[in-house]
Amino acid sequence: MALLGYDLFLARKSLRRNPGLTLLVVVGIALGIAVSTTFAAVRHAFQTDPIPEKSSMLHSVRLDSWDPAAPHPDRVGVPPQVTYRDMVEIMKSKIPVRQSGMFKTNLYVFPADKAQNPFEEMARVCYRDFFAMFGAPFAYGGTWDEKADGGEPVVVLSEPMNQKLFGGVNSVGKTVRLRDRDFKVVGVLAKWMPNLRFYDLTQNYIGEPENLYIPFGLLRPMELQLAGNNDGWGPNTGTGFEGYLASESTWIQMWVELPNAQAVAAYKSFLDAYATEQKKIGRFQRPLNNKVTPLLEYMADREVTPRAVKSLFAVSLLFLAVCAVNLIGLLLGKFLARSGETSVRRALGASRKDVFLQHLVECQLVSAVGGVVGVLLALGALSGINAWLKSQTGRGDLFALDLPMLLVALALTAGAGLVSGLYPAWRACQLAPAVHLRIG
Amino acid sequence: MASDFGPILRALSRNKARASIIVLEVALTLAIVVNCVSLIKDARLELAKQSGFLDEDLISVRVRAFDPAFNEQPFTDSVIAKDVEALRALPGVAAATQTRFRPWQGGGSSNEVWIAGTKSPTFRIQTYAADGQTFKSLGITVAEGRDFTDDEAVSERDRVRAVTSQNRPRSADGRATTPIVQEIVVSRAFAKLAFADGVALGKSLEDSDGDQYAIVGVIDRFYNPYAWNIGEYVMFYATRSTGMQYLVRAEKGQRETLLKSLDKALLTVNPGRVVKMDTIQDLKLKNQGEQLFVVKMLGGVIFLLVFVTALGIVGITSFSVAERTRHIGTRRALGAQKTDILRYFLTENWLLTSFGIVIGSGLAFFLNAALVSSSTASRLAPVLLLVGMGIMWVTGILSALAPALRGMRIEPAIATRNV
């Protein structure tokens, strides 16, 4: 321990002797840590499991009800959403512990306080299971009852919406006017801010969750208009809203919670049986290809992490590699330049191991300082990227240096220091005592 | 210069580690920089795309009604007509129309069609409603064939509504027995895709309802980002659509003024609504956000990378000079000129950089192959490699210059001094 203290003392002394050079070395490694940590954090924001306690149980459901003439143009060849008629039928299954079809719609909100202007708001239209399924916590009240799923005017508010409409008090039981009817508030969510809107990856999934949630059964009586993606094919068999509901248009995200492998297998065969049944009436003319995909796999399927982010991360690691090579060169030069001093230490009895450790400690000190500076730079860079993202999507807190990312930065720092330090330290401890003493 | 090669190579061979560090650093930097520039080039290609319209003068206006009177379609239709009139009457408005189409919104509506009466492959194509003012509002003219008229848009809307308001009789294959024929204007890119001779005018398309689309016009350019690579393919058909969505083209320089007066004009027509305005340039910025991000970030990385490499070369060359102080003094005492010393170090650096560049070139192609196979990156253009080589040579020389100049100034007397 005392030796380590002495090594640190020597390292500090050596770093202070040539401040210009020390700055060069520190800046070099700090930039490497900053760039790689920044892009690791950006990538991390897309790859974090949004709901670790149950992501393996949440499954996205996709049915291949597409055009027999050509597969769906998505990468996996199956439409990412299901038709209304199929959702109605498969929701009858008792296998999932929880399930919900859903979509989003724009609604006008008329605040009870007449001084506030009516405003437009995105609402999620879903089943009562939505909240428990996706881990949305309630501050007041809870989800609506089963009967309300059929189409009663009840609503769950997000925390910000409750703040806006009712000043944040417990508003359960109060009414809020949405479009042309009064909705009773049955629940208010507590703060809920998953990294991504992972329950709907079809469109603009970087963003905050919706502020209003209403029962799916209101679709027909209110003729709710879809605000998300709609992929369709084939002839319209009817007219108007009913015609749309009966068509082959796919526009509903379907999720089920399946607790174990048996349930997954049972549910899969249920879907295949359904599709086979539908084949008899002329639908589902493509080969059976229904997909029940766990959340994380589905996120990979949908390519949630933008390719640009993956490329930038790869590039940043290469950048760090260059910085490490750079560090090797500079340390090597530095150590060999003071070989005289090292020889003296050796001649005075320091063992090779002592010299080796002394130099390694100096490397670690350099990279530790570089790491701290690098993390500070990364914080700056991330806040810049967040500000930019806010201007794009309205969400300004997506990228952060959380604990796992700080650990990554720490590992990168220690790794870079060690990898870059080993060779120069080894070269330094190979110096023979006598030769340099003679010159000196 | 060539006479220096021998001593330089012998000196380097005695200090392999330091030499190989410079070589490795230059090689890695070259490989990364060249590939980053290639990625930037890909992104720029996307950024350089043109919608085909006068983006900088366009404003998209979207109106949402909360007044229940709007539940009646005829009422909405009458308000739309008045809205459009009010918009066109505003000073500073060059043209205005009702349409759901917004350049650069990304996505929209699309349909699958094929060449009527053939078993041609199906094509996915974007579809938008248009009237006599749509192309004028977008700031273009129909290049071939004819434009729509306003009367046509109204009569077509009424005609199609009449047919589709009741259950259409259908044959066994699901197609309507009384197909609707509509006239459309398509983009030149679609004409080239669908018809071998590139001539679309006078030809017809068909969709899975059995409805037919007769091509009466072609516009030169169109691009709106859309999944499935159909960004350049579009058909406009004559109709008045139902939504209160407008596209306004301001006279040159009038856009900002209009943004302040547009909503008041519409609320004067009917106050039971909320008006939202976006400039098409804003939509474009949002749509290209990811590409812009990539370009900026990669640009930053390239800059930092070259900077770090330069730092490295400065540092290593400095050591190399410092270590040989006595040798330099000796050479100078034996009659070497200052320029000989300078040349020695620059040549040494040039040799190392060049060696790094040779290795880096191979590495660049290797890295590019990995990028191409794992993403949408395109192949490395050899000219980029040449540019990258140039950058590395210049960086190498400039970085070595300061330490080499320091070496040059070493006095011959130092040879005789004992440290």
Q: What pLDDT, on a 0 to 100 scale, did the predictor assign at position A339?
A: 80
* Residue A17 pLDDT exceeds 60: yes
Q: What type of residue sits at position B4?
A: D
pLDDT reading at A80 higher than 90:
yes
Task: Give first-to-last CA distance, chain B, whole Å.
Answer: 31
Question: Strand, helix or coil at A213?
Answer: strand
Greater model confidence, A230 or A149 = A149
Strands (E), A78-197: 82-83, 98-110, 119-126, 138-141, 154-157, 175-178, 181-189
Mean pLDDT, rounded, for A75-103: 95
Chain A neighbors of B175, CB-CB under 8 A: 235
Q: Is the pLDDT of residue B393 over 90?
A: yes
Q: Say if residue A294 is in the same domain as residue A208.
A: yes
- Looking at the structure, do residues A235 and A329 belong to the same domain, yes or no? no
Residue predicted with more confidence, A76 or A153: A153
**Alpha helix locations (H) across B288-336?**
289-323, 325-333
Q: How far apart are CA B225 and CA B308, in angstroms?
A: 38
DSSP string, A172-202: TT-EEEETTEEEEEEEEE-----SS-TT-TT
Q: Are B210 and B49 in contact (CB under 8 A)?
A: no
Encode burial over A113-128: b for 16+ CB neighbours within 10 A, e otherwise: eeeeebeebbbbbbbb
| Cβ <8 Å between A235 and B210 | yes
Average pLDDT over chain A reads: 91
Cα(A91)–Cα(A256) distance, rounded to whole angstroms? Answer: 9
- Residues A87-102, mean pLDDT to the nearest whole number: 97
d(CA A158, CA A192): 8
Spatial separation of the C-alpha atoms in residues B299 and A233, rounded to whole Å? 43
User: Residue B189 corresponds to which tokens in the numbers above?
Assistant: 């890119």
Which of A118, A310, A333 is closest, CB to CB, to B18?
A: A333
- Whether residue A156 is found in the same domain as residue A238: yes
The least confident of A83-87, A183-187, A418-422 is A418-422
Asked whether the beta carbons of B131 and B97 are under 8 A apart, the reply is yes
Sign of the dihedral defined by the CA atoms of residues A65, A71, A77, A80, in that order: negative
- The answer to whether residue B418 neighbours chain A at the CB level (below 8 Å) is no
pLDDT at A238: 64
Residues B137, B151: Cα–Cα separation, whole Å: 17
Question: How far is the C-alpha of A128 from the C-alpha of A156, rounded, in Å?
Answer: 10
Check CB contact of B209 with chain A, cutoff 8 Å: yes
A115 shares contact with chain B (CB less than 8 Å): no
Query: In 3-state terms, what secondary structure has residue B2?
Result: helix
Bigger pLDDT: B326 or A158?
A158
3 state DSSP class of A318 = helix
Residues A319 and A282 in one domain: no
A23 Cβ under 8 Å from any chain B Cβ: no
Cross-strand partners of A121: A107
Amino acid making up residue B214? A
Report CA A288 to chain centroid distance, whole Å. 32
Are B293 and A236 a contacting pair at CB < 8 A?
Answer: no
Q: Where are the alpha helices (DSSP H) in B114-230?
A: 134-138, 150-164, 188-194
A261 and A182: one domain? yes
- Give chain B's length: 419
Nearest residue on chain A to B288, alpha-carbon basis:
A392
Q: Cβ of B37 under 8 Å from any chain A Cβ?
A: no
- Quick one: A106 and A237 in the same domain? yes
Residue A74 is encoded by which pair of tokens?
Answer: 């998505």
| Helix B255-269, helix B73-89: angle, nearest 10 | 140
Taking the C-alpha atoms of residue B18 and residue B43, their distance in angstroms, rounded to an integer, is 38
Task: Give me the percent of chain B exceeding a pLDDT of 90.
Answer: 57
Closest Cβ opposite residue A337 in set B36, B286, B322:
B322
Among A285, A301, A317, the domain-final residue is A301
* Number of independent structural domains in chain A: 2
Angle at B312 between CA B307 and CA B318, to 5 degrees: 125
Alpha-carbon Rg of chain B, whole angstroms? Answer: 34
Distances (CA, A) of B183 to A345, B202, B205: 92, 10, 10
Q: In B4-148, at which residue ranges do the beta strands (DSSP E only) sit?
A: 58-65, 93-98, 110-115, 123-130, 144-145
In this predicted structure, the answer to whether residue B258 has a pLDDT above a threshold of 90 is yes
A207 and A335 housed in the same domain: no
Distance CA B176, CA B157 (A): 18
Contact B227 A73 (CB under 8 A): yes
A200 shares a domain with A260: yes
A residues 33-52 lying closer than 8 A (beta carbon) to B: 35, 39
Give me the half-sphere count of Cα atoms (radius 13 Å) on the Cβ side of residue A88. Answer: 9
pLDDT above 90 for B320? no
| Residues of B whose CB is below 8 A from A242 | none
Closest CA to B273 of B250, B249, B297, B243: B243
**Shared-domain flag, residues A197 and A297:** yes
Residue A426 to residues A335, B151, B162, B366, Cα–Cα distance (Å): 10, 87, 88, 32
Write the burial class of residue A76 (CB in 10 Å: 0-12 exposed, 13-18 middle, 19+ buried).
Answer: middle
Amino acid symbol at B284: K
> A235, B175: Cβ pair inside 8 Å?
yes
**Percentage above 70 pLDDT, chain B:** 97
Express each pLDDT in B17-28 by its tens digit.
888 999 999 999
Judge whether B177 is closer than 8 Å to chain A, CB to CB: no
Q: Among residues A301, A336, A362, which one ends one of the domains? A: A301
Q: Are residues A128 and A260 in the same domain?
A: yes
Question: Please, are residues B220 and B143 in contact by the beta-carbon 8 Å criterion?
Answer: yes
- The span from the CA of A233 to the CA of B124, in Å, is 10
Q: Which domain holds residue A385?
A: 2-50+306-439
- Tell me the pLDDT tens digit for each residue of B197-215: 999 999 999 988 888 999 9
The verdict on A319 and A244 lying in the same domain is no
pLDDT confidence of B110, banded at 50, 70, 90? Answer: confident
Q: Quick one: pLDDT band at residue A130, thresholds 50, 70, 90?
A: very high
Residue B315: list chain A partners with CB under 8 A. 21, 24-25, 326, 329-330, 333
Nearest-angstrom CA–CA distance, A100 and A59? 11
Let me know whether A232 and A324 are in one domain. no
Q: What is the rounded radius of gyration, in angstroms, for the C-alpha atoms of chain A?
A: 31
User: Does residue B171 belong to the interface with chain A, where contact is any CB pair within 8 Å?
Assistant: no
Q: Where are the alpha helices (DSSP H) in B119-254?
A: 134-138, 150-164, 188-194
pLDDT surpassing 60 at residue A84: yes
The two three-digit tokens of residue A272, written as one number? 């295949």
Among B21, B294, B298, B367, most A C-beta atoms within 10 A, so best to mutate, is: B21
Mean pLDDT to the nearest integer, A21-26: 86
Residue A158 pLDDT > 60, yes or no? yes
pLDDT of amino acid A434 = 61
B170-185 in b/e form (b: 16+ CB < 10 A) is beeeebbeebbebbbb
B132-165 pLDDT, tens digit per residue, is: 999 999 999 999 999 999 888 888 888 887 777 6
CB contact under 8 A, B308 and A323: yes
Cα–Cα distances in angstroms (integers) from residue A34 to residues A320, B32, B201, in the given order: 9, 17, 58
Which residues 140-179 of A are in CB contact (within 8 Å) with B? 179
Which of the four pLDDT bands, split at 50, 70 and 90, describes residue A61?
very high
DSSP conformational letter for A49: -
With contacts defined as CB-CB under 8 Å, which chain B residues touch A39?
297
pLDDT digits (tens, 9 = 90+) for B56-67: 999 999 998 888
What pLDDT, on a 0 to 100 scale, did the predictor assign at position B281?
A: 93
Residue A2 has pLDDT above 90, yes or no: no
Domain end point (choices A268, A285, A301): A301
Q: Would you say residue A436 has pLDDT above 80?
A: no
Give the confidence band of A341 by pLDDT, cuts at 50, 70, 90.
Answer: confident
Q: How many CB atoms lie within 10 A of CB B32?
A: 26
Is the CB of residue B25 less than 8 Å from the CB of residue A322?
yes
Confidence bin at B229 (pLDDT 50/70/90):
confident
CB contact under 8 A, A326 and B307: no
CB B412 within 8 A of CB B333: yes
How much is the pLDDT for A236?
64
Residue of B nearest to A333 (CA): B319
- How far apart are the C-alpha atoms of A216 and B412, rounded to whole Å? 91
Instruction: State the CB neighbour count (10 A cutoff) for residue A297.
Output: 14
Q: Does the beta-carbon distance from B308 to A236 stay under 8 Å?
A: no
Quote the pLDDT of residue A440.
43
